Amino acid sequence: MSEKKFYIETYGCQMNFSDSEIIASVMKEADFDSTTDVKEADGIFVNTCSIREHAEQRVRKRLSELKSFKKKKPHLLIGVLGCMAERLKDQLLIDEKSVDIIVGPDAYRDLPKLINTANEGQKAINVILSADETYADINPVRLGSNGVSAFISIMRGCENFCAYCVVPYTRGKERSRNPGTILNEARELFESGFREITFLGQNVNSYKWEGENKDFDFPYLLEKAALINPLLRIRFATSHPKDLSDELLKIIAAHPNICRSVHLPVQSGSSKILKLMNRKYTREWYMERIEAIRKYIPGCAISTDIICGFSGETDDDHHDTLSLMEWAKFDYAYMFKYSERPGTAAAGKYKDDVPEEVKSRRLQEVIELQQKLSHKSNKRDVGKTFEVLVENESRKSKDFLSGRNSQNKVVIFPRKNFKAGDYVNVNVLRCTAATLIGDDAESFYM
């Protein structure tokens, strides 16, 4: 057995968590075991996020804490991986003296070589972006898994160039992964006991694989995955509104194991701001897509992302966002203050002209409205029965279990003899803004 151990810490989106599992697999091949105890690690990797300035500041703070580990253990290697590595490149080696290794999102296969270089006392860096790397042949090591749900990365990169966003610069060209390898990974997960997979990509619904005789798109992939077994739930994130086709909605509607939950980031309710953001749709177009979801998939949950205080956003634009939220009745939302990112189109072309206190006030209004909408959405579910996939013990009590319904809502109910991986029909008795609380009606698979 290998003596060397690495510890990985992940910041940011689901895609980063999925990448950490690919990194763990590469490290395993190089005879490194993963550890959850940072003190026993020979290598500490920080898988980073650049999406907002705050995300980068958190990583910087962590790197300064890690310096003290290095003082106690001089052979310890510290690596910065992912988007921040890609964005800042060798500048990070200048700023952060304790860092030995810098690796961009397309260079993880190179890690063993970079570690050797660093062990010889040199700084090691690979931030080359690739047009075709999808890590398709790598079998991810499921880190911190509950054995029930897993991520499968189906595409990488993004070429949408939303004006505010750093992702096209840190993750490079959009490329899709061979569908055969995706479906094999899904089948293997099901056979080893997993009951839910989430297809991941910055823009999953623009998935496209060019085969020899025909092209394979996202509806095709989703349908094939749904047919693996009715007991395997399929989720996906994130969809771009411009690529949300009726064909995709019809495929979801036809397969009960494709979850009734669509995450459709709107970013703003103002067509003027959407144009400045280069989102490629208008308020009206987005509303029409919401209507299409409601028409084809009744009972589908809809969640979104919202940015407050983008360049040029007036109070009227902000009220357009609030009114769209009320209209759409979003079940859930991720809400952010606009953070100007160096190198993006917005940083080059527009002034970051909404004062900080106005951004904060608008964000607060958006959060308060969403809390009301989420609570109302949960209240509508009281008295209904949902099929819940059990994930873990409830955090508050070991007498209760926690799982999710198809709409991606957390449901808590008495443990009885149920266990992770079971499907349980739960009657919802009451709710909070964040959780449904119920009792089992009957279990149909144990």
Beta carbon of residue 39, minimum distance to ligand SAM (angstroms, whole number): 31
- Would the CA dihedral through 212, 213, 217, 219 be positive or negative? negative
Q: With contact defined as beta carbons under 8 Å apart, do 176 and 134 qualify? A: yes
Distance CA 127, CA 105 (A): 8
Residue 80: contacted member of ligand SAM, ligand SF4, none (CB under 5 to 8 Å, by partner type) = none
x/- letters, 46..65, toward ligand SF4 (CB under 6 A): --------------------
Partner in contact with 161, chosen from ligand SF4, ligand SAM, none, beta carbon below 5 to 8 Å by kind:
ligand SF4
Q: By CB under 6 A, is residue 267 in contact with ligand SAM?
A: yes
Residue 168 binding: pick among ligand SF4, ligand SAM, none (C-beta 5-8 Å cut-off by kind): ligand SF4
CB 277 → ligand SF4: shortest distance, Å? 8
Q: Are strands 77-82 and 43-48 parallel, antiparallel or unpaired?
A: parallel
Residue from 34, 202, 370, 377 touching ligand SAM (CB under 6 A): that is 202
Q: Which is nearer to ligand SAM, 311 or 394 (CB)?
A: 311
The stretch near ligand SF4 (CB under 6 A) out of 162-170, 255-263, 381-389, 412-420 is: 162-170
**Under the criterion CB under 6 A, does residue 51 sit at the interface with ligand SAM?**
yes
The DSSP H or E segment spanning 149 is: strand 149-153
Rule CB under 6 A: which of 190-209 touch ligand SF4? 202-203
Mapped onto helix, strand or coil, the DSSP state of residue 273 is helix
Residue choice 10, 11, 13, 169 for contact with ligand SAM (CB under 6 A): 13
Q: Which is nearer to ligand SF4, 330 or 413 (CB)?
A: 330
Distances from the Cα of 134 to the Cαs of 61, 154, 221, in angstroms?
Answer: 31, 8, 16
Tokens of 425: 């029909």
The Cα 288–Cα 268 span in angstroms is 15
* 161 forms part of the interface with ligand SF4 (CB under 6 A): yes
Of 44, 81, 84, 167, the one binding ligand SF4 by CB under 6 A: 167
C-alpha to C-alpha distance for 316 and 309, rounded to whole angstroms = 12
- Could you give the 3-state DSSP secondary structure of residue 284? helix
Q: Give the binding range for ligand SF4 (CB under 6 A) out of 113-121, 155-163, 365-373, 414-422.
A: 155-163
Separation between Cα atoms, residue 294 and residue 244, nearest integer Å: 13
Q: Is 165 in the site for ligand SAM (CB under 6 A)?
A: yes
Q: Which helix (H) or strand (E) holds 196?
A: strand 196-200
Binding of residue 216 to ligand SAM (CB under 6 A) = no
Interface pick for ligand SF4 out of 165, 186, 411, 431 (rule CB under 6 A): 165
Question: Of ligand SAM, ligand SF4, none, which one sits near residue 266, judging by CB under 5 to 8 A according to partner kind?
Answer: none
E strands in 338-407: 385-393, 400-404
- Minimum CB separation of residue 331 from ligand SF4 in Å reads 20
- Is 14 among the residues that bind ligand SAM (CB under 6 A)? no
- Asked whether position 240 contacts ligand SAM by CB under 6 A, the answer is yes
**Residue 32, burial from CB neighbour count under 10 angstroms (0-12, 13-18, 19+):** buried
Q: Which residues contact 216 (CB under 8 A, 6 or more apart)?
A: 179, 208, 209
CA distance 193 to 167: 34
Instruction: Report the residue count for the chain.
Output: 446
Instruction: Please give the span between the terminal C-alpha atoms of the chain, in angstroms, as a whole number.
Output: 36
CA 157 to chain centroid, in Å, comes to 13
Q: Quote the least distance from Cβ 159 to ligand SF4, whole Å.
A: 8
- Restricting to residues 320-379, name those near ligand SAM by CB under 6 A: 336, 338-339, 341
Smallest gap from residue 183 Cβ to ligand SAM (A): 23
Contact set with ligand SAM (CB under 6 A): 13, 51-52, 164-165, 167, 202-203, 238, 240, 265, 267, 305, 307, 336, 338-339, 341
Binding site for ligand SF4 (CB under 6 A): 158, 160-162, 165, 167-168, 202-203, 240
